Homo-oligomer: A and B are copies of this chain.
Amino acid sequence: MKKYDYIILGSGPVAMHLLAKFERTTNKVLLIEKGLWGGTCPNTGCQPKIFIEGTVRPVLNSYYLAGKGIKEAAKIDWPTLMARKKKIWAAFHKNERASMTSENTDTVQGTGILTGPHTVKVNDQEYEGKQIVIGTGLSPRDLDIPGGEYAITNNEFFDLDQLPKRAIVIGGGYVAMELATILQAAGTEVTILQHSDRLLRPFDQDYVQELKQIMEERGIKFHMNAPVKQIAKDGDQYTVITTNGENFDTDLVINAAGRKPNVEGMGLEEVGVDFDSKRGIKVNEHMQTSVPSIFAAGDVADNGQPNLTPVAWVDAYHIINFVENGEKSPIKYPPVATNAFTYPEIAQVGIHEDEMEEGDYVKTLDLSDMFFSIGEGDFHAKLKVILNKDGVVRGASELSIHAAEDINNFVPLIGRKDPNKFVEENLTFAFPTPANNLDTLFR
């Protein structure tokens, strides 16, 4: 049986960051991937999305400036965009595998199945590892309704050759909102069906309401409290039926309603690794599962953190620190900044208003009257920061076309009592940029 220091299940961001650190060691690694090399983020998640949004941004930007200094809004040419996407990605996952393979790292295509605390089987071959890291991520949760199989997911969306005339997006999380933004910008009539009365749960709900309104003004329709009970197919066309009895005829149905941990069919029960089929694999403060030689990290781990790529990095780094450097202190997550790449973007770090405690207060900044925002047509831009009674920064929310980048300026401030000191030490940020808002807020 071939022996390794580490066996990694799944080649996503978890694996990528483990390998990056292993480069400086002599550890022997076996990496197992059952699907696309590189995992969700670069193949069917963050990266194809951000690639397409590179086109969406100037199109919507010019839409808001049309008649105000721009002659006409630019338009998306969907088939060309998608042909370009496919060409760029054609060899990606193979190259990714090649780049992950090295003198110290073997790669195997197949489903990894645990057979013991130190052993994994792939394609009927067994391997031994001092440590095993499970980074198997999430998959779209099937719509458990008649016709649920007619809905596509993010796995198919980014290869959509032809733009549908109409689309129904089921869900109200960031993926639903982002795909709706993309399709509407490209010219599709988009309707969002959300089962509850809340969208974008982890974000400031005032800003979410405003974002919803902005999206509605561009023509996206929202139906809240509208759980779907059936999808019927008739030729090329679908009818989506809600429990309220509403019917929606459409050309495409997208299931962006939720994702579930990849915990099945990989021997967890057999080997005694505790997990919950909704929350994922149980881990302690060192990312160890109930079997100490087996770790879990990233989306599949029940780590109490949002399922985002940088969280997978933090998990991966901690495992290495713990195993290789004998790190004693429990894993510590930096404040996690998160963003929906809608238009405008909505971003969050730390707490939002709903999570405020006694004595906390809010500072707001209207960005929409800054020449910067007026010039870009960012007519709704705004920012709020939550501080506690001692002046410690607890959270920040932003609605603007630069929210993702700007929210990062608040990451080093979360938990700091002296934001003004940080600002004074860095007062000479390039001007005019969103970072200069810090001076206005904390001078």
Contact = CB atoms under 8 A, between A and B. Distances in A.
Given A77-B70, A80-B68, A50 B375 contact: yes
A434 interface: yes
Contacts of A71: 74-77
A232 interface: no
A425 B69 contact: no
Contacts of A349: 430
Interface string A396-425: 000000101111110110000000001011
A337 interface: yes
A157 B309 CA distance: 46
Nearest to A65: B55
Given A47-B371, A371-B51, A408-B433, A310 B427 contact: yes
Interface residues of A, number: 83
Contacts of A194: none
Contacts of A88: 371, 374
Interface in A84-132: 84, 88
B426 A334 contact: yes
B334 A427 contact: yes
A428 B337 contact: yes
Contact of A310 (B42, B59, B405, B428): B428
B427 A408 contact: no
A389 to B, nearest CB: 19
A348 to B, nearest CB: 9
B57 A376 contact: yes
A69 B57 contact: no
A290 to B, nearest CB: 26
B412 A433 contact: no
B55 A69 contact: yes
B435 A377 contact: no
Contacts of A46: 431-432
Contact of A77 (B69, B405, B443): B69
A60 to B, nearest CB: 9
Nearest to A348: B430
Interface stretch (A196-204, A281-289, A311-319): A311-319
Nearest to A425: B334
Nearest to A72: B74
Nearest to A436: B310
Closest 7 CB pairs of A and B: A54-B375, A69-B81, A51-B375, A54-B376, A58-B61, A337-B430, A62-B74
Given A51-B375, A310-B429, 11 more contacts: A53-B375, A54-B65, A54-B373, A55-B65, A70-B77, A71-B77, A337-B428, A405-B434, A408-B430, A411-B429, A412-B422
Interface of A: 17, 20-21, 42, 46-48, 50-55, 57-59, 61-62, 65, 67-78, 80-81, 84, 88, 308-311, 313-314, 317, 333-339, 347, 349, 371-377, 402, 404-409, 411-412, 422, 424-436, 439, 443
